[in-house]
């Protein structure tokens, strides 16, 4: 039987020629989160299964259908299906909730859900997320939403709509749940088996069902905004006021409930119509009871998750700019063993300066080496042979223009740095673009 060495269904490989796109997104989300005062947190890729059962909710699709769980002896572990539960667990376990509030963390991590693979929905996917703990004020909700919008703006993604809603607190939801049970009980014959099971336990989950017949029934279901208590209504009005002050455009969508049980009050989504059915590229909200539910004291909290694969799909569809792929700064073409050893010595020195340097390791001829230098997009090249070793001088060629500069081999690292920086400044002056530096450093083809 033939050995199956293909990647598992629902996963993908990111190759060196494509990883610069990921680097672009990762640099922008990290940098933006840090300007908002968030620090990075890293958590295990698996947690005790009970963590997700208690936080995400036993009646959610994630817990009932999508988790990857393994039992080892008497313990049950689950690959994380989302980032919030693990982040909050880590903040609790490591004492962050006892420090100055608000506590703000962000993460970039892989998540795992057993779903039918399709565009924008993988079984292993990657997520950027943030969590803010400590503030119950609507200004915190507005700040977190503004962070998400700022990231999307800096990625230059267009045609994104922000939808907001409030699903209330546990107290005002009691009346809402009662209205939902009454509504759906009269239409049981059109509900799927899963929704029939959820009707008594958690009727809000019916609004998140992916079955078309259930979605059709749910179109005329009662909406949360009609059942908000006075405090929740005031909180939602405060959020809208702050978003208006920030000039963040939004639409109130009373059908948004999100797919996880820990949400309270504010829920929101950033949605696009450019990548098909999986149009939500960012979703989040408030979860004021989660920390207490996981064993901590009552601390209000909120956050969001942003799917990196979906961001990349939208960016590709809109031809957004990426920081160009990092390629070779200087390529040494060599003739003879002594020249090869000199190139190796100089490469070690230049790499200490942070330059990406390459030389021939395939025993090619000079013409083939220069062809290879073009193929890898080398910004500069230098040929070293017997003459260069004898004179201790080498000509550095700027590949874009063909301009050459003769420098001493002894001073090459220092002089090359000056040549490189001057060309970079010239390029930036010609392009007058904030990303010109990345374009110069990243690609030998800078026409």
**Using one digit for the tens of pLDDT, what is the confidence trace for 77-114?**
999 999 999 999 999 999 999 999 999 999 999 999 99
Which pLDDT belongs to residue 431?
67
Q: What is the pLDDT of residue 145?
A: 98
> Domain limits of the chain?
19-169+229-317, 330-440
Least confident of 189-198, 201-210, 421-430: 421-430
**pLDDT of 139-192, one tens digit each?**
999 999 999 999 999 999 999 999 999 999 989 988 988 998 899 888 888 888
The CATH number of the structural domain formed by 330-440 is 3.40.50.800
| pLDDT averaged over every residue in the chain | 90
Cα 20 from Cα 402, distance rounded (Å): 27
Q: What percent of the chain has pLDDT over 90?
A: 70
Question: Given this model, what pLDDT does residue 437 score?
Answer: 46
Q: Determine the pLDDT at residue 327.
A: 86
429 pLDDT higher than 90:
no
pLDDT at 1 over 70: no
436: confidence class by pLDDT, cuts 50, 70, 90: very low
This prediction's pTM: 0.88
pLDDT given for residue 277 in this prediction: 66
403 φ, ψ (degrees, to nearest 5): -65, 135
d(CA 239, CA 145): 10
Average pLDDT of the residues in 243-256: 95
CA nearest 404: which of 436, 368, 439, 380? 380
DSSP codes of every residue in 298-344: ---EEEEEEEHHHHHHHHHHTT---PPPP--SEEEEE-SHHHHHHHH
Both tokens assigned to 178: 């009662």
Give me 244's structure tokens. Answer: 């208006």
Per-residue confidence (pLDDT) for residue 432, from 0 to 100: 57
In angstroms, the CA 172 to CA 229 distance is: 5
The burial class, CB within 10 Å (0-12 / 13-18 / 19+), for 320 is middle
Q: Does the structural domain 19-169+229-317 have CATH classification 3.40.50.11540?
A: no
Element spanning 77, H or E = strand 75-79
> CA end-to-end span of the chain, whole Å?
51
Question: What's residue 444's pLDDT?
Answer: 37
Residue 278's pLDDT is what?
Answer: 65
Q: Is 84 in contact with 55 (CB distance < 8 Å)? A: yes
Comparing 398 with 429, which gets the higher pLDDT? Answer: 398
pLDDT at 242 over 60: yes
Closest to 294 measured CA to CA, from 21, 6, 48:
48
pLDDT at 73: 81
- Pick the residue with more confidence: 215 or 240? 240
């Amino acid at each position: 039987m033939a050995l199956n060495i293909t990647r598992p269904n629902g996963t993908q490989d990111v190759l060196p020629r494509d990883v610069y796109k990921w680097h672009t997104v990762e640099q922008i989300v990290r940098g933006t989160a840090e300007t908002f005062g968030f620090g990075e947190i890293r958590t295990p890729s698996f947690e005790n299964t009970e963590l997700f059962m208690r936080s995400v909710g036993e009646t959610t699709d994630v817990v009932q259908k999508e988790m990857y769980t393994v039992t080892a002896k008497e313990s049950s572990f689950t690959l994380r299906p989302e980032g919030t539960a693990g982040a909050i667990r880590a903040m609790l376990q490591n004492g962050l909730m006892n420090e100055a509030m608000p506590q703000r963390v962000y993460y970039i991590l892989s998540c795992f859900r057993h779903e039918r693979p399709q565009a924008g929905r993988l079984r292993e996917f990657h997520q950027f997320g943030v969590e803010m703990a400590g503030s119950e004020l609507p200004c915190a909700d507005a700040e977190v939403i503004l962070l998400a919008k700022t990231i999307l703006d800096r990625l230059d993604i267009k045609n994104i709509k922000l939808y907001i809603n409030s699903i209330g607190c546990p107290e005002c939801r009691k009346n809402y749940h009662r209205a939902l049970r009454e509504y759906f009980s009269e239409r049981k014959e059109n509900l799927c088996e899963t929704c029939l099971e959820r009707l008594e336990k958690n009727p809000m989950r019916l609004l998140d069902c992916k079955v078309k017949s259930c979605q059709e029934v749910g179109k005329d279901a009662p909406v949360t905004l009609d059942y908000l208590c006075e405090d929740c209504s005031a909180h939602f009005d405060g959020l809208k006021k702050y978003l208006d002050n920030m000039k963040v455009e939004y639409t109130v969508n009373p059908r948004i409930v999100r797919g996880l049980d820990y949400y309270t009050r504010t829920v929101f989504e950033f949605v696009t119509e450019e990548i098909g059915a999986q149009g939500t590229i960012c979703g989040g909200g408030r979860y004021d009871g989660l920390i207490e539910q996981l064993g901590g004291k009552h601390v209000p909290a909120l956050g969001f998750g942003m799917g990196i694969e979906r961001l990349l799909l939208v960016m590709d569809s809109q031809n957004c700019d990426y920081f160009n792929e990092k390629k070779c700064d200087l390529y040494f073409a060599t003739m003879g063993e002594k020249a090869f050893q000199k190139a190796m010595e100089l490469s070690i020195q230049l790499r200490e300066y942070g330059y990406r340097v390459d030389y021939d390791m395939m025993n090619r001829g000079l013409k083939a080496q220069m062809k290879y230098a073009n193929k890898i997009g080398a910004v500069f090249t230098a040929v070293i042979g017997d003459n260069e070793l004898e004179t201790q001088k080498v000509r550095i060629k700027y590949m874009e223009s063909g301009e050459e500069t003769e420098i001493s081999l002894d001073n090459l690292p220092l002089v090359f740095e000056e040549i490189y920086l001057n060309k970079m400044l010239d390029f930036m002056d010609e392009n007058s673009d904030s990303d010109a530096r990345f374009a110069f450093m990243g690609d030998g083809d800078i026409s």
